[in-house]
Structure 1
Amino acid sequence: MSLYKDQEIKIYNSLTKEKETFTPIHDGAVGMYVCGPTVYSNVHMGNCRTFLSFDLVFRYLKHLGYKVRYVRNITDAGHLENDGESGDDPILKKARIEQLEPMEVVQKYTVDFHETMKKFHALPPSIEPTATGHIYEQIAIVEKLITEGYAYEQNGSVYFDVLKFNTDHEYGKLSGRKLEDMITNTRELAAQSEKKNPQDFALWKKAEPQHIMRWPSPWSDGFPGWHLECTAMSTKYLGENFDIHGGGMDLKFPHHECEIAQAEASNHKSPVNYWMHANMLTLNGKKMSKSTGNNILPGELFSGENNALGRTYSPSVAKFFMYQAHYRSILDFSNEALEASEKGFHRLMDAYNSLSSISVSAKSSFSVSEWKQSCYDAMNDDFNSPILIAQLFEATKYINALKDGNATITESDLEELAATMRAFIFDVLGLEDATIVGDESAEKLDGAVSLLIELRDQARANKDFETSDKIRDELQEVGIQLKDGKEGTTYSLG
């Protein structure tokens, strides 16, 4: 189905600082590149938010019928500390600490990244290239930049000449930084480097004797610059000009700014039509930081083994919580916010699962078609997931009114309501219905929980509220929510 022909998407373009109507280069097809993780440690929740933001974009474009080539790289070489320009290679540093080969570190944390994304029910990208697998392409770009006069070699390393580039182009247009201001702020450091100017960035670095990861090049045995990797991999798989480039807000400068400079200097055209940036996460009102300890990993969130939140939350609840904020806004992780989101998630899933028991009528007291378009309108407005979720809760109110006999719906409207809810909850938001498990497992689980409900009922009858509360709370800890009603106690998973 080509729904995209009837839906006009507007994307906030970080380059122009405006919402623009999305018009792909090729009708019906979209090329999207997202900067992936540097695999030297467990992926953290801030990373996850970025990747889930673009999973949402990927899912919605696919839902509309676009053929999407989604490329997300793995940085497994070249990303030095201090914005990838100097200091230690974090992969080598971790290899020394853990007494592993560097590629063992890469493999270990790449696997962790994939497993974490799978728990969040994120779709894998179409192509997942690695920096080490594209050394040839990176060397070719460096050679071209030298030929074009935008790069120079110094003591076996090659640097991009930012001042030369700025005479013909505009360096800083994505981040809004002026080169004159950068020069003023860094002039005193000029003599401390082999670069012509402090603003110049590395395209190829000569490896020190102790640097294990190295490759031969026309200039030295060394390794590519961090910014070069993404230019090489994005253009290889998406072409010299493609539709969407995404990443975290922290990558806007210098990483994405340098990508634009490299691509414009080597290909003489703007590489990307729409730049998108996801904002950061905070934890209990403060910036997430490993150095301060104000940080939480996905595994710690799912297991409850953390000092920040005090209890466990399922991947679906955490994902649902993140989508209740727009991808361009700062989002704070806190116990109170996650608990509220968990209740909302269960309410939404309960409403969806009750649709099969709704009775139909001769007329509807709710315009399902208008509501359906409002869901599309939300996503068409720069992938506005919080507005979409608000619309899903509007439908939830209507479903609850239908259950209580306070509203009516026709058979065709019920089918359209169910299909739309299913499409946006599962296909677009990519949530998992935790109430659905395999038949055999479901039977065993139902028997075990029913027994615990019976024991809890006995405890309450004996006024042993400590035991009844303990059963309820500990079931909730593992994602089983008990609900007391007139007909007795039921449960749901989430």
Structure 2
Amino acid sequence: VVEELLAGTRAELAGQEEKRSPADFALWKKASPQHIMRWPSPWGEGFPGWHIECSAMSRKYLGAEFDIHGGGLDLMFPHHECEIAQNEGSDTPSPGARFWLHNNMLTVNGQKMSKSLGNFITLPQMFSGDTSALSQAYSPMTLRFFFLQAHYRSPIDLSDEALQAARKGYRKLLNGLRLLDKLVGEPAAETPAAAVEIAPAQPGPPSPAQQLRNLAAKPFAFLDDDLNTPRAVAALFDLLKRLNTLATSAEALAEVGPAALAEAATTYRTLVQDILGLRDEPRANTEDLLGLTLSFYQEAKATKAYDKVDQIRAALKNQGIVIKDTKTGVEWAYSEE
């Protein structure tokens, strides 16, 4: 078993040959002459082992017991196992964290990220596009949504195609927020967090209002299941699909009723903005500039200057904005392409 555990650890673990048992770990290490960390101890000048550093820091700043300890899967053994052993063996025994969350690895275009392969990407490079590993820049919110699409314990591969799909999904959810502003109005300053549950089965089919409430409850159920963000996001898109249908059918909207619609709107906003942390990003084009541009667009249409109509459409699309001609006038939305 120990050999299997060691096979899954980092190859550069030092000092293996000095141990009496492969499962042993260092509490204190002797400092070499050039080592900058050194303190006197009964065992000579040295410094604390890697594992004891983390136990000491968490005990000092978070207490003997705290909620969540995160880290990569490659740290489960030996690092986190050793932390628990130290915590339990201290003068105030405790496992330390109540929950240990281990995330899987990130690859780039199917390869491990490393400087030697030339695919190592920093966040500033991601946001500026100053890297040969990607063809363009991607925004912080796009990157956030990209990671939300994979379970934290699953591997995830970074690529232009995946990031472009993430940008499309992120914009689709934000267009949902704009849709809700039209359906139910702007949220109140102190809108309470949604508390929804899937209703127990009742004789006969559920009412349209209960169907909507059930859709709104599903993302929370998936988040409660080991933070299953990809399934929660998929359920959120199901809710958005239903809200889009309601926006195009006055009859369906009346069947649902204002109370259920308001609950679903609050739930959607809570999930997108507060739980998933997806916010509208600052844009060069403000609402006023967009309004002015749309007025030019309407004027061009009225005068049948279709070359200008196409020009305005193309210019806005390059900025991630699409124009929609509706029965009540002209509107804009984020491009989902």
The alignment's TM-score, normalised by the length of structure 2, stands at: 0.74
Matched, 1:485 2:324: yes
Instruction: Say whether 1:426 aligns with 2:251.
Output: no
Structure 1 residue 179 displacement after superposition? 6.1
Note if contact 1:435-1:492 (Cα within 8 Å) is conserved in structure 2.
no
Q: Does 1:245 align with 2:89?
A: no
**Does the CA contact (< 8 Å) of 2:297 and 2:309 recur in 1?**
no
Q: Secondary structure at the match of 2:126?
A: helix
Which of 39, 54, 57 is 1:215 aligned to?
Answer: 39
In structure 2, the partner of 1:393 is: 237
CA distance in 2, matches of 1:191, 1:319: 39
| Partners of 2:161 and 2:78 in 1: CA distance | 36
Q: Does 1:303 align with 2:128?
A: yes
Kept in 2: contact 1:452–1:471 (CA 8 A) = no
The answer (yes or no) to whether the contact 2:28–2:48 under 8 Å persists in 1 is yes
One-letter amino acid matched to 1:214 = R
- For residues 383 and 278 of structure 1, the distance between their equivalents in structure 2, rounded to whole angstroms, comes to 12
Instruction: Give the total of aligned pairs.
Output: 300
- CA displacement, residues 265-287 of structure 1 (integer Å, 9 cap, x when unaligned): 33555444432211111111122
For the 8 Å contact 1:316–1:431, the answer to whether it is kept is yes
**How far apart, in 1, do the equivalents of 2:267 and 2:308 lie?**
45
1:464 positional shift: 11
SS of the residue corresponding to residue 245 of structure 1 reads strand
Query: Would the alpha carbon gap of residues 445 and 210 (structure 1) be closer, same or farther in structure 2, given more than 3 Å must change?
Result: farther
2:118 to 283, 286, 293: 293
Deviations 1:342-388 (A, max 9, x none): 1121111111222122279xx95662322232122111111111111
* 1:61-460 paired onto structure 2 within 5 Å: 177-178=1-2, 195-197=19-21, 199-267=23-91, 270-358=95-183, 364=208, 367-405=211-249, 407-408=252-253, 409-434=256-281, 442=286, 446=290
| Gap regions ≥5 residues in structure 1 | 1-176, 184-189, 476-480
Q: 1:226 to 1:450 in 2, by over 3 A?
A: farther
Partners of 1:382 and 1:182 lie apart in 2 by 27
Which amino acid in 2 is paired with 1:383? L
Residue 330 of structure 1 and its aligned partner are, at CA, apart by 0.8
Amino acid at match of 1:211: H
For the 8 Å contact 2:316–2:322, the answer to whether it is kept is no
Measure, in 2, the Cα distance between the counterparts of 1:423 and 1:251. Answer: 33
Q: 1:394 to 1:357 in 2, by over 3 A?
A: same
Q: Secondary structure at the match of 1:293?
A: coil
One-letter amino acid matched to 2:215: W
Report the secondary structure of 1:289's partner residue.
coil
Report the CA distance shift for 1:436/1:356 in structure 2 as closer, same or farther (over 3 A).
farther
SS in 2 for 1:376: helix
Q: 1:471, 1:419 → 2: CA distance?
A: 34
- Higher relative contact order (CA closer than 8 Å, sequence separation 6+): 1
**Partner Cα distance (1:434, 1:191) in 2:** 49
Stretches of structure 2 lacking an aligned partner (at least 5 in a row): 8-13, 186-206
Shift of 1:443: 5.1
TM superposition shift of 1:319: 0.6
